[in-house]
Amino acid sequence: MSKQHHIQLEAGDVGRYVLLPGDPGRVEVIARHLDSAVHVATNREYVTYTGYLDGVKVSVTSTGIGCPSAAIALEELVRVGADTFIRVGTSGAIQPGTKSGELAIITGAIRDEGTSIHYMPPEFPAVADFGLVEALRTAAKSKGVPFRVGITQSKDSFYGEVEPEHSGVTTRLLNRWKAWEIGGAICSEMESSALFVVASMLGVRAGGIMAMWGDGEFKGLEPLIETAIEGLRNVIKGDNNGNS
């Protein structure tokens, strides 16, 4: 198989397990938590490192910002052999009282974006793999970090969230945000819904864990990364015990 057009990877370059940050600058930071991690490829917004976790081949690939580029990354990673994906990123808190740095473990996503309708009708739910959710929840408990489990809103406009008053549809954005809050959604970001829908369509596993921006000072990504790594370790152990 030739190299994939966007991610510039081919079979053998990645493990079956891939962590997916959005920011290319976070790939190396996450890869430092793996053993013998090496840079494999950089093209456009896609940076990939591959190493080992407990002797198992694991990769880290950035998706860039938004659902279109995330969907491309997932499709091409599946073509070169990956089948288990955990989005590792940041998000804005939806629920009042959320503290900056609390982790969001995602069960499903509001499809408030335009990419996933090119894969499935809007009635089709964007749902995370249950096994990945449970592995991440167990990891967060073991690390003693504050976390919430719930639904994210995946959207196409960053500033539509943070500066809705500058939009031509301000009232609509504010009303919908209130609806997400009333419905119990915990955070807002820009990739999960497409990842979940595409993963469902391709028959692979996808989940997500994010650090939320909320009240107070944000103190860094290390608790997020360590929890994601521990969660993936739980997934690998489960798979080795025949639970995949």
The pLDDT of residue 1: 66
Domain membership flag for residue 175 = yes
Domain membership flag for residue 10 = no
What is the value of pTM for the model shown?
0.97
CB–CB of 196/203 below 8 Å?
no
Domain membership flag for residue 102 = yes
Domain membership flag for residue 12 = no
Domain membership flag for residue 154 = yes
Per-residue pLDDT of the chain (244 residues; tens, 9 = 90+): 689 999 999 999 999 999 999 999 999 999 999 999 999 999 999 999 999 999 999 999 999 999 999 999 999 999 999 999 999 999 999 999 999 999 999 999 999 999 999 999 999 999 999 999 999 999 999 999 999 999 999 999 999 999 999 999 999 999 999 999 999 999 999 999 999 999 999 999 999 999 999 999 999 999 999 999 999 999 999 999 987 6
Pairing of strands 56-61, 17-20: parallel
Joined tokens for residue 58 = 């694991």
Tally of structural domains, the chain: 1
CATH of the domain at 164: 3.40.50.1580
CB–CB of 167/48 below 8 Å?
no
**195: domain range?**
17-217+225-237
Domain membership flag for residue 5 = no
- DSSP assignment of 14-30: S-SEEEE-S-GGGHHHH
Q: Residue 68: phi, psi to the nearest 5?
A: -60, -50
Domain membership flag for residue 4 = no
Domain membership flag for residue 242 = no
